[in-house]
Amino acid sequence: MLRDQTLLRIPGPTPVPPSVQRAMSQPMIGHRDQETKDLLKTITPKLKPIFGTEQDILILSASGTAGLEAAVVNAVQPDDDVLVIVTGAFGDRFVKICNEYRISVHRYDVAWGEAVSPDAIASYLSEHPEIKAVFATYCETSTGVLNPIEELARVVRQQTDTLFIVDGVSCVGGVQTKMDEWGIDILVTGSQKAMMLPAGLTFAAVSERAWHVIERNERPSFYLDFKRYRDSLANNSSPFTPALSLLLGLEQTLSMLEEEGLEQVYQRHQTMKEMTRAAFKALNIPLLTADEVSSPTVTAIKPDDFEAEKLRGVLKNEFGLSAAGGQQHLKGQIFRIGHMGYCSPIDVLQTISIIETALHRIGKSIVLGAGTRAAQEVLLKGGN
Q: What pLDDT is attached to residue 384? A: 47
Q: Are residues 267 and 173 in the same domain?
A: no
Over its C-alpha atoms, the chain yields an Rg (Å, rounded) of: 21
What is the C-alpha to C-alpha distance for residues 105 and 165, in angstroms, rounded to an integer?
14
pLDDT at 82 over 80: yes
Q: Are residues 346 and 375 in the same domain?
A: yes
pLDDT at 383 over 60: no
What is the C-alpha to C-alpha distance for residues 274 and 375, in angstroms, rounded to an integer?
8
- Average pLDDT of the residues in 89-101: 96
Task: List CB contacts of 234: < 8 A, sequence separation 6 or more.
Answer: none
Q: Are residues 305 and 330 in the same domain?
A: yes
Q: Considering the domain boundaries, does residue 43 fall inside one?
A: yes
DSSP string over 225-259:
-HHHHHHHHTTT--SS---HHHHHHHHHHHHHHHH
pLDDT at 256 over 70: yes
How many CB atoms are located within 10 Å of the residue 253 CB?
25
Backbone phi, psi, residue 65, to 5°: -60, -35
- Average pLDDT of the residues in 270-280: 98
Q: Are residues 174 and 293 in the same domain?
A: no
Domain boundary among 258, 276, 291: 258
Q: Considering the domain boundaries, does residue 1 fall inside one?
A: no
Q: What pLDDT is attached to residue 3? A: 78
- Tell me which residue range forms the domain holding 362: 7-14+261-382
Looking at residue 105, which CATH number applies to its domain? 3.40.640.10
At residue 276 the predicted structure's pLDDT band, cuts being 50, 70 and 90, is: very high
- Average pLDDT of the residues in 201-217: 97
Q: What pLDDT is attached to residue 43? A: 97
Task: Kindly report the average pLDDT of the chain as a whole number.
Answer: 96
pLDDT at 351 over 80: yes
Q: Are residues 222 and 274 in the same domain?
A: no
Q: Are residues 250 and 119 in the same domain?
A: yes
With a pLDDT cut of 90, the percent of the chain lying above it is: 95
Q: What pLDDT is attached to residue 196? A: 98
Q: Considering the domain boundaries, does residue 2 fall inside one?
A: no
Q: State the DSSP code for 28.
A: P
Looking at residue 346, which CATH number applies to its domain? 3.90.1150.10
* Sign of the torsion angle spanned by Cα atoms 30, 34, 35, 39: positive
Q: Are residues 376 and 319 in the same domain?
A: yes
With a pLDDT cut of 70, the percent of the chain lying above it is: 99
Residues facing residue 146 across a β-bridge? 139
pLDDT at 39 over 80: yes
Q: What pLDDT is attached to residue 143? A: 98
Tens digit of each residue's pLDDT (9 = 90 or more) over 164-183: 999 999 999 999 999 999 99
- The domain tally of the chain equals 2
Tens digit of each residue's pLDDT (9 = 90 or more) over 303-329: 999 999 999 999 999 999 999 999 999
Task: List CB contacts of 217: < 8 A, sequence separation 6 or more.
Answer: 74, 75, 76, 77
Q: Are residues 165 and 308 in the same domain?
A: no
Q: Are residues 276 and 199 in the same domain?
A: no
Q: What pLDDT is attached to residue 167? A: 98
- Residue 189 is inside which H or E element, if any? strand 186-190
Q: What pLDDT is attached to residue 137? A: 98
Q: What pLDDT is attached to residue 160? A: 82
At residue 159 the predicted structure's pLDDT band, cuts being 50, 70 and 90, is: confident
CA torsion, points 258, 248, 174, 54, in degrees to nearest 10? -70
Among the ranges given (17-21, 75-79, 374-378), the one the predictor scored with the smallest mean pLDDT = 75-79
Residues 212/226, Cβ–Cβ less than 8 Å: no
Q: Are residues 34 and 82 in the same domain?
A: yes
Q: Are residues 138 and 157 in the same domain?
A: yes
Q: Considering the domain boundaries, does residue 330 fall inside one?
A: yes
Within the chain, residue ranges assigned H as helices are: 18-24, 34-51, 64-75, 89-100, 118-127, 149-159, 179-182, 208-216, 226-233, 244-260, 262-282, 308-319, 345-361, 370-382
